[in-house]
């Protein structure tokens, strides 16, 4: 039995951020098991530190210095683990894209936050803002699942997003 992760982006909120869900996928069946909710910055043409990552299949690697994060890598899409890309490509590529603990999408720099729920969260900048709740619990669940099933990839896709005011990025 081969298991992987599948992340489906489900809603765009005011063209500022995106919500989604991560599922455990049994590659030999059509059954997916819900794991966690996600939030990330909106699509901004894959701009470094300002955009979510393109849809695609990514290697899911351990973070180099934190056991509480994952690193996404797909060199064909220009997403590298570190600044290891050829120097002439640095302006067209991205690196250090993580799945990590955060509640407010504005805490992210092109990364993905996970949580056990969605709702209003208290932040430093504003008293309440929409994001993921119980992010540490969500990361704990995701880490346990990845370890239990020895998962090393995640597929990220775009659903027919609710709240879209302009075109969804091509996938």
Is residue 47 within 8 A of residue 53, CB to CB? The reply is no
Q: Which residue is associated with the tokens 């993921």?
A: 132
pTM, two decimals, is: 0.85
Strand partners, 99: 70, 112
pLDDT at 151 exceeding the cut of 80? yes
Q: Residue 58: its pLDDT value, please? A: 93
pLDDT at 21 exceeding the cut of 90? yes
Report the percent of the chain where pLDDT is more than 70.
Answer: 81
């Amino acid at each position: 039995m081969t298991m992987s992760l599948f992340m489906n982006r489900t809603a765009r909120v005011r063209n500022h951020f995106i919500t989604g869900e991560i599922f455990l996928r049994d590659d030999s069946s059509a059954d997916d098991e819900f794991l966690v909710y996600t939030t990330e910055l909106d699509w901004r043409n894959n701009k470094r530190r300002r955009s979510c990552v393109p849809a695609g299949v990514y290697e899911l690697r351990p973070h180099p210095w934190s056991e509480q994060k994952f690193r996404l890598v797909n060199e064909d899409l220009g997403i590298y683990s570190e600044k290891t890309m050829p120097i002439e490509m640095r302006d067209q590529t991205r690196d250090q894209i993580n799945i990590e603990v955060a509640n407010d999408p504005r805490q992210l720099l092109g990364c993905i936050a996970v949580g056990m729920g969605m709702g209003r969260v208290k932040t430093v900048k504003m008293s309440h803002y929409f994001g993921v709740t119980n992010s540490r619990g969500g990361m704990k669940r995701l880490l346990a699942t990845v370890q239990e099933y020895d998962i090393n990839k995640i597929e990220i896709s775009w659903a027919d997003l609710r709240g879209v005011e302009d075109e969804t990025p091509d996938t």
